Amino acid sequence: MPQTPSPSASAAASARFTLDPAFAVGEVNPRLFGSFVEHLGRCVYTGIHEPGHPAADEAGLRTDVLALIRELGVSVIRYPGGNFVSGYKWEDGVGPVEERPRRLDLAWRSTETNRFGLSEYIDFVRKVDGEPMMALNLGTRGVADALELQEYANHPSGTALADLRIGHGDKDPHGIRLWCLGNEMDGPWQTGHKTAEEYGRLAAETARAMRQIDPDVELVACGSSNQSMPTFATWEATVLQETYDLVDHISLHAYYEERDGDRDSFLASAVDMESFIENVVATCDHIGARLKSKKKINLSFDEWNVWYQTHYHRAEPLNWEEAPRLLEDNYSVTDAVVVGSLLIALLRHADRVTVACLAQLVNVIAPIMTEPGGPAWRQTTFYPFAQASAHGRGRVLQVNVDSPTYETAGYGEVPLLHATAVLDESTGAVTVFAVNRDQHRPLPLEIALHALPVTRVVEHTVLADADPEARNTLTDPERVTPHPGEDTALADGALRTTLEPMSWNVIRLA
């Protein structure tokens, strides 16, 4: 049940901040708007790939889903896992489809047909104007297999593996630049789980060998699976001690959900995300200082989302089905507001978070849902991501809010306003992204803009609903959509508006 707002969240209280182009965080890397496709549940099969569907193209990709992905504005797409990758044999997913082996997937206790593999993934990524981000199996495999996949995927011709790719119908190299050195190797649930020392050594040797093929390859080392891991920070420090000069990024993963009816804390989830980012940055820079390196390690937040993990129990009978319905969370408008706040957190740290992947893309804790043989539709969480991707490209400006606060059980005293702003320097346009965390009361907002040459409000859109549990479903796919904000005005160098209770807001100025 919603909690009673604290007395500090009074109806008369207002929030404010100042925007000045002289004070910026950094440029947004387009990879911040990435996503994730894992062989898990129906993400691939009957999600993006369904031969025989009325909307399927010649490759079996659902064109209705491709259109939604392009609308979502996804940049980089991580593949094929996730936990799945730690038992994956890449060569099972190449060559003639009818000759590919069926395998047991230990991660999700499913049967993998390998009908969708490397070539299909690259074709899919190109059709949605994305960039590939390939994860390597450092759980049950290692250096030799990583090198073979790199050569098969990227070498032009003249070697056994490159010519094998050509023989499989892909004349041109796949051109994969961004590689993950394993997945969540700190987690005891991971097939091939390792200690930080074991993983750091393996990641370093893999990175060193891959750079012998291509010195310019971009590599992501595994960081902690989440900030609550008992080895958090020690894991990062140990791994980076081995890999600092060999990798470009270290990964972060975090999922959030409402627990025990504590919606106030859930709405403040970004407090944890920002803390996680800042703690990892501090650890990276500490190791850099110890090594007397001028290099900066950037962050790849390559799994993040709202995920109701308490709804998923590993004890559930999973009988090695093909593409079972797993983790198909149906998101409410409350969940969408939290997703918007998490996007704000990523943008507020765009100077160091240069890759981020919403996990996952279709059906599995996803912004897009499908029905086999039927339609595809947008979940509530689709909208904040699509709007941030469309209007969040440019230079992030510093936002230091003066806001009323409220008390949370999870994070203590938290501002009701969570906000960031992005400046498009080519046009002078500014987009403000703002969340009002107050469940029941509107929040007046004033933004000082004297240092910016903006003269008009292009639009103010709001994602909110009188019913915090409102959702989009197969039978009602447009129950929740953004609507125009009211009484938003620009005058005398300031923007004034009122944010609806528990809302995600996009205010575009030109």
Q: pLDDT at position 314, please?
A: 52
Residue 2, pLDDT score: 42
pLDDT at 312: 76
Fold of 15-23+398-509: Immunoglobulin-like (2.60.40)
Residues 6+ apart with CB under 8 A from 197: 238
Cα separation, 335 vs 381, in Å, equals 7
363 Ramachandran zone, left/alpha/beta (phi>0; psi -120 to 50):
left
pLDDT in tens, 469-496: 999 999 999 999 999 999 999 999 999 9
| Catalytic residue (choose from 91, 120, 303, 500) | 303
This prediction's pTM: 0.96
Nearest to 355 by CA among 146, 178, 135: 178
What pLDDT is attached to residue 318?
72
Phi and psi based region of residue 192 (left: phi greater than 0; alpha: psi -120 to 50; beta: remaining): left
Q: What is the dihedral of CA 22, 26, 28, 31, to 10 degrees?
A: 180
Answer yes or no: are the C-beta atoms of 76 and 31 closer than 8 Å.
Answer: yes
CATH 2.60.40.1180 range(s) for the chain read 15-23+398-509
311 confidence band (pLDDT: 50, 70, 90): confident
Dihedral, CA of residue 280, residue 286, residue 291 and residue 296, to nearest 10: 50
The string of pLDDT tens digits covering residues 360-382 is 999 999 999 999 999 999 999 99
pLDDT in tens, 257-289: 999 999 999 999 999 999 999 999 999 999 999
Burial of 190 (0-12, 13-18, 19+ CB in 10 A): buried
- The pLDDT tens digits of the residues spanning 5-52 come to 443 444 448 999 999 999 999 999 999 999 999 999 999 999 999 999
pLDDT in tens, 140-176: 999 999 999 999 999 999 999 999 999 999 999 999 9
Give residue-wise pLDDT tens across range 443-455.
999 999 999 999 9
pLDDT(391) > 50: yes
DSSP 186: T
Residue 196, strand partner residues? none
Q: Is 274 part of the annotated catalytic residue set?
A: no
Residue from 184, 218, 236, 258 carrying the catalytic annotation: 184
Confidence at residue 3, expressed as pLDDT on a 0 to 100 scale: 45
What sign does the dihedral 396-400-405-408 (CA atoms) show? Answer: positive
pLDDT 10s digits, 172-211: 999 999 999 999 999 999 999 999 999 999 999 999 999 9
> How much is the mean pLDDT over the chain?
96
Report pLDDT digits (tens) over 312-332: 765 455 789 999 999 999 999
- Closest-CA residue to 283 (of 256, 250, 261): 250
Taking residues 462-474, what's their average pLDDT? Answer: 98
- Superfamily classification of domain 29-391: Glycosidases (3.20.20.80)
- Where do the CATH 3.20.20.80 domains begin and end in the chain? 29-391
Helices (H), 314-429: 333-347, 382-391
Question: What are the tens digits of pLDDT across the range 215-264?
Answer: 999 999 999 999 999 999 999 999 999 999 999 999 999 999 999 999 99
Q: Is 316 a catalytic residue?
A: no
pLDDT at 203: 98
Euclidean distance between CA atoms 254 and 265, whole angstroms: 15
